[in-house]
Amino acid sequence: DAGVTQSPTHLIKTRGQHVTLRCSPISGHKSVSWYQQVLGQGPQFIFQYYEKEERGRGNFPDRFSARQFPNYSSELNVNALLLGDSALYLCASSIRDNTEAFFGQGTRLTVV
């Protein structure tokens, strides 16, 4: 069975640009969460979606947005990129809530 897949794996963007990151959850999983992991730190929660509805939002500016599609895949969008947005962006899927959440390999975003 395929695990959580994220695309792209690496991305370099210029300050001020916009980026879209994509995530496909494990088959049968209806909940998708997004996390930001800065080098040397633990993942920080950004969003959770369940059944296409936003269930939770972390302490991130409005430049960050996300959505979940009918097939339960998800996109994370970040506008007006800042140098500080450089991080590993992780997607986690789970059946319903965040117990037994499985992470993808992440998207390494570098803002220059």
Q: Which residues bind another protein (CB under 8 A)?
A: 4, 33, 35, 40-45, 48, 55-56, 58, 90, 92, 97-106, 108
Q: Which two tokens stand for residue 16?
A: 């001020």
Unique residue bearing structure tokens 């909940």: 31
Name the residue type at position 33.
Answer: S
85 vs 93, beta carbon nearer another protein: 93
Taking the least distance from each CB to another protein, the nearer of 42 and 70 is: 42
Which residues, other chains included, contact 37 with Cβ-Cβ below 8 Å and sequence gap of 6+?
43, 44, 87, 88, 89, 90, 106
- The answer to whether the CB of 69 falls within 8 A of the CB of 51 is no
Measured CA to CA in angstroms, residue 90 lies from 11, 56, 93 at distances of 14, 16, 10
Provide the minimum distance between the beta carbon of 77 and another protein in the complex, in angstroms, as a whole number: 19
Q: Which is nearer to another protein, 52 or 55 (CB)?
A: 55
Tokens of 71: 């097939």
**Shortest approach of another protein to residue 63 CB, angstroms?**
19
Q: What's the min distance (Å) between Cβ of 12 and another protein?
A: 16
Nearer of residues 4 and 81 to another protein, judged by Cβ: 4
Q: How far is the CB of 56 from another protein (least distance, A)?
A: 5
